[in-house]
Amino acid sequence: MIIRRLYSSDAKGYQELRLKALKNHPEAYGSSYEEESEFSIEVFEQRLSNPDHLTWGAYVDERLAGVVTLITSTRKKTMHNGTIVAMYVDDLYRRHGIGSYLLKHAIIEAKSKSILNLYLTVTTTNLVAKKLYSSFGFVTYGIEKNGLKIDQQYFDSELMVLYL
């Protein structure tokens, strides 16, 4: 397995994996497959070109198997905060430690950028992800009741933070 930062030249593979994540696990993301499937490849290229949204990919046999994004704040008063978003490991590659490697990589980068508070949001029913985040020291600081609505079903969101 190789973990490396993704750039605009990786947009096609990233787009495919992102759409798979949104389609197969809609309750895990604030965005939807229906919305993002309409995005052009240029939208994904721009995402991967943004210096304040760093995305890493895990490659297994040259195939993108997982991703994670670290968003860093550019505002003077909040530059010490970062957010983990869009984390996903393809179902075919789960339970091999890829999520741990990706998260560890993002945390190391956050520390190198002097981030003190690293935030993320996870659906309360996603027990596997919550266990992973807790194993790295993330703690819950709140619950957003009915944070997501998919069709007629609501999902609560758990707000977590890692103090670096």
In a domain, 136, yes or no: no
Confidence band (pLDDT; 50, 70, 90) for 121? very high
- Alpha-carbon distance of 156 to 146, in angstroms, equals 5
Length of the chain, please? 164
In a domain, 109, yes or no: yes
Structure tokens, 75:
């505002």
What's the confidence (pLDDT) of residue 120?
98
What's the confidence (pLDDT) of residue 86?
95
The total domain count for the chain is 1
What's the confidence (pLDDT) of residue 82?
97
Count of alpha carbons within 13 angstroms of residue 163, beta-carbon side: 3
Residue with the two structure tokens 């758990």: 158
- For 12-30, the pLDDT digits (tens) are 999 999 999 999 999 999 9
In a domain, 149, yes or no: no
In a domain, 132, yes or no: no
What's the confidence (pLDDT) of residue 107?
97
Confidence band (pLDDT; 50, 70, 90) for 54? very high
In a domain, 161, yes or no: no
What would the DSSP string read from start to end of 57-78?
Answer: EEEETTEEEEEEEEEE--SGGG
Mean pLDDT, residues 96-119: 96
Q: In which element (H, E) is residue 120 found?
A: strand 117-123
Closest residue by Cα to residue 7 from 62, 66, 56, 76: 56
Confidence band (pLDDT; 50, 70, 90) for 115? very high
Question: What value does the mean pLDDT of the chain take?
Answer: 96
Contact assessment for residue 75 and residue 51, using Cβ atoms and an 8 Å cutoff: no
In a domain, 70, yes or no: yes
Domain that holds residue 98: 2-119
In a domain, 64, yes or no: yes
Torsion of CA 58, 61, 63, 64, to 10 degrees: 0
Count of alpha carbons within 13 angstroms of residue 47, beta-carbon side: 21
- For 63-81, the pLDDT digits (tens) are 999 999 999 998 999 999 9
For position 105, which CATH number holds? 3.40.630.30
In a domain, 147, yes or no: no
Which amino acid belongs to residue 97? G
Closest residue by Cα to residue 138 from 156, 163, 109, 107: 163
Structure tokens, 89:
């490991």
C-alpha torsion sign, points 120, 16, 66, 106: negative
C-alpha torsion sign, points 143, 134, 75, 147: negative
Mean pLDDT, residues 125-145: 97
pTM confidence score? 0.93
